Structure 1
Amino acid sequence: MQNDPDPQVPPKIFRQTDVLDPARAAAFQVALAQESTIAAGDVLPPFFHQLYFWAPQPPEQLGRDGHPRLAPGGLIPDLGLPRRMWAGGRLQFDRPLLAGIAAEKRSVLESSSCKQGRSGPLGFVTLRHEVWQQGVLCLSEWHDLVYREDPDPQAVRPVPPRARRDEEEQREIAFSSTLLFRYSALTFNGHRIHYDQDYARDVEGYDGLVVHGPLLAQHLMLLAQELMGPLADFSFRATAPLMHFEVAEFCCKGQDLWVRAPDGRQCMQAVARPRKTC
């Protein structure tokens, strides 16, 4: 069932404003075991806008998973499926965001649909975000979410894809429960799969705490920028969850990047395109 917005009706735009506090970005650098260098006026690394534009809700408006409960008239439609996952996204970088300066985020629902998958019904939602600063569009982001039913304990788990082993560059990164908690706090992400191990295991069927998909994408973007220079665009897709007790390998060959778990499964794949220079 397709529920795309009516093309004849202008999409409802949700607007948020925030001052891109350099202290928050510097704290994130420390959480990533980097030197704290960001000050007011500095260029923010790619994807650091995830630290801003919080939309806090009171406890009574939260769902069982810690996310804001879906409600009529909100940005995300209620598709009747309880489990939410960040499936992937695309980013187009037009101009660097600067720390310490006010910015506006404009969000619209681009599409929503329900389909029948091998493991049951699936809901797909794509949001489009624009971040403006000083009257200029700095980045556009397409944010893909998947919703699904609670897991059946008797069901056979799907086999995740195998990751490539032909990388030209590789970094090993470990994820502790402390790092996951800090990232949840810095992004104001209340999803319990990232900090409540009992909930993650007993309700949503994971083997441990789940490493945030955006956190994996963040590391891939930083690796891409390190190897390629400033990015023009970046796309990524989550293919299997990574647990907090696993040390992952972040790999790159050409413009292709991926995350490999210790057992060889692919957790994320991505493509980066560097900005052209004269």
Structure 2
Amino acid sequence: MNHDSPTLIRQNDVLDPARAAAFWTALSRADAPCDPLPPFFHQLYFWDAQEPAALGRDGHPKVGGIIPDMGLPRRMWAGGRLEFHAPLRVGLAAEKVTTLDSSLRKEGRSGPLAFVTLRHEVSQNGAVCVREFQDLVYREDPNPTAPKPQTQAARTDEVHTETQAFDSTLLFRYSALTFNGHRIHYDLDYARDVEGYSGLVVHGPLLAQLLMLMAQRQLGKLTSFSFRAASPLMHFETATLCWGGDDTCWVRGPDGRLVMSAEAT
């Protein structure tokens, strides 16, 4: 990994087919093809391995590098936008360049919030294959006396659904395959006692990944995908992945709430 500047990181990796195959196996689809790399599978590569002293309390690399320190401890992957320009081929070298696109701290209804957008470009043979904008939100620790946040009801006019259950093993395996150290996904005591969740939190990018795979099955090919998280999903909850027939898709929780919304083309 090469930190060209505080606002640019350059990483190189070889897209090992074994890692993609391991992810398919974790999703109970061991017979699925790995080449070209399915959309969003680049998340399995370009690990940012840091020494323990360089990690924050949540298991992520400490802020203050490419992500500025704005004094807020809780991190959430709020959404993102992807452009698919060319297929990524497994077994070949690839480069990922990450830049800080924007950062902003503001006061929200529930307290101070910080919004960070990272821009990732993944290239092979000198050509950009995937361009991704990753939206992160940082906020204060939860106030145990504050009312629970309101949730939004999900649409019920889908034309196709798929059901997905989660457990701590799947969350652990996805964390391992993406080298994601965020403790809310595997450390139940931390998730519950420090960040105030009722269970382990299903990764936002894992939900987005499942929606992308469903959208690809519906459309045949993806050229773009955007998603927005609406509420966290716990590891003990079964989700319904919904396709709207109008290039929209979403994740509905078992209580009918909207967990994630997305658009695919």
TM-score of Structure 1 vs Structure 2, range by shorter chain: over 0.9
Unaligned ranges ≥5, structure 1: 1-9, 274-278
| Greater CA drift, 11-20 or 184-193 | 11-20
1:262 aligns with 2:264: no
Matched, 1:46 2:66: no
Give the counterpart of 2:13 among 5, 11, 18.
18
CA deviation profile, 1:64-117 (whole Å, cap 9, x unmatched): 10001113xx21111110000000000000000011100000110010001111
Structure 1 consecutive aligned stretches of length 4 or more whose deviation exceeds 4 Å: none
Task: Work out whether 1:167 is the aligned partner of 2:158.
Answer: yes
Q: 1:22–1:38: 8 Å Cα contact kept in structure 2?
A: no
AA in 1 matched with 2:18: A
For 2:169, what is the secondary structure of its paired residue? helix
Normalising by structure 1, we get a TM-score of 0.92
Cα drift, residue 38 of structure 1: 4.1
Report deviation, 1:35.
2.2
Q: Is the 8 A contact 2:240 2:251 kept in 1?
A: yes
Structure 1 residue 135: deviation in Å?
Answer: 1.4
Secondary structure of the residue aligned to 2:216 is helix
CA contact (8 A) 1:180 1:212 kept: yes
Per-residue Cα deviation, 1:199-231 (whole angstroms, up to 9, x for no partner) = 000000000000000000000000000011110
Q: After superposition, what is the alpha-carbon deviation per residue over 1:95-153, rounded to whole angstroms, capped at 9, x for unaligned? A: 00011100000110010001111110000000001000011110100000000000000
Q: How far 1:11 sits from its partner (Å)? A: 8.7
For residues 111-190 of structure 1, the aligned pairs below 5 Å read 111-190=102-181
Unaligned stretches of 5+ residues in structure 2:
none
Could you say what the CA RMSD is over the residues aligned between the two structures, in angstroms?
A: 1.2
Distance 2:247 2:58 in 1: 35
**Map of 1:1-278 to 2, 5 A cutoff?**
12-38=7-33, 42-71=35-64, 74-253=65-244, 254-273=246-265
Q: Which amino acid aligns with 1:91?
A: L
> Whole-Å Cα distance in 2 between the matches of residues 24 and 134 of structure 1?
21
- TM-score (norm: length of structure 2): 0.96
CA displacement at 1:36 relative to structure 2: 3.7
Letter in 2 for 1:25: A
Secondary structure in structure 1 of the residue aligned to 2:36:
coil
Per-residue Cα deviation, 1:154-178 (whole angstroms, up to 9, x for no partner) = 0001111110000000000001100
Q: Distance in 2 between matches of 1:29 and 1:43?
A: 14
Q: Secondary structure at the match of 1:56?
A: coil
For residue 70 of structure 2, what is the amino acid of its counterpart? Answer: L
Indicate if the aligned counterparts of 2:6 and 2:66 stay in contact, CA closer than 8 A.
Answer: no
Q: Secondary structure at the match of 1:219?
A: helix
Inter-partner Cα distance in structure 2 for 1:245 and 1:222 = 22
Q: 1:184 to 1:60 in 2, by over 3 A?
A: same
The 2-side partners of 1:223 and 1:89 are apart by: 17
Q: For residue 69 of structure 1, what is the amino acid of its counterpart?
A: K
1:18–1:103 CA contact under 8 A, matched in 2: yes
